[in-house]
Amino acid sequence: MDYRKCAQEIYDLVGKRENLVSAAHCATRLRLATNDNSKVDKEKLEDVEGVKGVFISNGQLQIILGTGTVNKVYDEFLSISGMTAATKADVKAAAAAKQPLPFRMIKALGDVFVPILPAIVAAGLMMGLLEGLTKIWPDMANSGTYQIFHLFSNAAFVFLPILVAVSAARVFGGNIFLGAVIGMIMVHTDLVNAWSVAGMIESGQTIPTADVWFGLYKINLTGYQGHVIPVIIAVWFMSFIEKRLHKLVQETIDLFVTPLVMVLVTGYLTLTIFGPILSTGEEWVLQGIQWVITIPYGIGAAIAGALYPLTVVCGIHHMYNTIEIGMISNTGLNTWMPIASSANFAQGAACFAVALKTKDKNSRHLLFLHHYQLSSESRSLLSSA
């Protein structure tokens, strides 16, 4: 294979240098951020020798070349275009910046939740193991060992707003420690634990309230355990005013004034506006999704399974992280994950079947690759569920 010829043809068909922002590669794909993806001739790109597939994901042009080949074509591509090597993160950021606002918002959700997924996965697996063991040995639930491991398993969910706040502050460019403070305010021990509210109402206990906004209305002094959207919005607002304050406040007093104003303003707005309104909206969304999934005769699951691959193609599937974590935090069950896993397995099986039938070498290679990726993703999804 003539690697330089392949690189030259790709360079010409993506719109040459004036349409290129940055270029990187992974193990199998050449990843490009372009000024205008509509100027890319995808059909002719797929006919270039060595190219096994072309698609656009999250605004990023990805050209599948295969392991080993991509490295050599990439070197030639940089030589022809005169560009310098970029990282995958650089290309991803450049492509994401050109996405419409709704897509950027959903990407931000994914960026917030992906770093904390290991903590959620570890907690979920421990919960599952404990539940399984107590089914086999019921007396274990009364042991000290169970109490200790139960503490380990639910710690991530008890303090979930703090984890989310730290991650959100990192994504939005705010101070991660002040972000943590906002998360701590939302689960402070002076507030009634959110998971205790239902029991208090049933037993006739009064939930403490506070007059806010100079007595205009009252709010319940309850925490936000298990909620994620109010935390993200609160930390986004905190990061927004932090950047503005750094520009307005003199450097000599910035260290004292900025943190004070950030915590006072954001904390007050969180407990009086962001928290009460957004937590209610979040609960409505979760209830609506759970209602759809539980439509009888498999209709709800079919609807969810049909929508899932479409959202993946559009690159907005990261929003499901919010839904899943909300489900686990509120009910202890993730009813969405089995449906998503089934959708992935079905796509993988379809790719495998077509790969066996097709006579085109490039198509067969690409379909086998997709089958492997979809199957791997499904196994990862099921293990984390």
Residue 351 annotated as catalytic? no
Tell which residue, 147, 164, 167, 157, has the closest CA to residue 123. Answer: 157
Sheet holding 53-57, edge to edge: 20-25, 29-34, 60-64, 53-57
Instruction: Using the CB atoms, write b or e for 355-364: b if 16+ within 10 Å.
Output: beeeeeebbb
> What six digits make up the tokens of 261?
């104003």
Name the CA radius of gyration of the chain, rounded: 25
Contacts of residues 364-368 at CB distance under 8 Å and 24 or more positions apart, as own/partner, are: 365/52, 365/66, 366/52, 366/53, 366/64
The helix or strand, by DSSP H or E, that contains position 54, with its residue range, turns out to be: strand 53-57
Task: Return the sign of the alpha-carbon dihedral for residues 214, 219, 225, 226.
Answer: negative
Task: Return the sign of the alpha-carbon dihedral for residues 328, 334, 340, 346.
Answer: positive
Secondary-structure breakdown of the chain: helix, strand, coil percentages, each rounded to the nearest 5: 70, 10, 20
3-class state of residue 113 by DSSP: helix
3-class state of residue 87 by DSSP: coil
Supply angle C-alpha 208, 212, 217, rounded to 5: 85
Q: How far apart, in whole angstroms, are the C-alpha atoms of residue 330 and residue 325?
A: 9
Report whether 352 contacts 368 (CB < 8 A).
yes
Give the residue numbers marked as catalytic: 26
